[in-house]
Amino acid sequence: MTEGAQLTQVEASHRYEVFHTDCPARDMVDHVTSRWGIWVLIALRSNDLRFYELRESIQGISEKMLAQTLRVLVQDGLVWRKVEPTTPPQVTYGLTEFGREIGEPLTDLFNRITQRLPPRSPG
């Protein structure tokens, strides 16, 4: 049983050559670690949010950049998108299981960084 697991891991490591420019895993890493991708994944870690709620939660992001970032994260299978057929349409986003798996270490990284920063001075 262990040999099968080891063989699978070896096969998986040969399936994607992450240091090659044409590796699809590189595109996904670029999307996740883009300027806004990481913030979208962190913002969705605890709640599903509508488009404007998500935009309000990530200060500094434009509607255009949020839409572009969400589009690629949905295509990558990290975020799901649900459209309610209302007028105007209500669009909600949330993390897929894969998105939660990827977002967890990003949230941990964010938490570690903020714990090491000096306390904010009042004012």
pTM to 2 decimal places: 0.78
Banded pLDDT at 43 (limits 50, 70, 90): very high
Q: What are the tokens at 67?
A: 């839409």
- Tell me the pLDDT tens digit for each residue of 89-113: 999 999 999 999 999 998 899 889 9
- Tell me the pLDDT tens digit for each residue of 49-78: 999 999 999 999 999 999 999 999 999 999
Cα angle 84, 85, 89; round to 5: 70
- Tell me the pLDDT tens digit for each residue of 11-32: 554 577 878 888 888 888 888 9
Name every residue whose Cβ is closer than 8 Å to that of residue 102 and which is 6 or more positions away in sequence: 32, 41, 78
List the alpha helices (DSSP H) in 16-62.
24-32, 37-43, 51-57
Beta carbons of 95 and 106 less than 8 angstroms apart: no
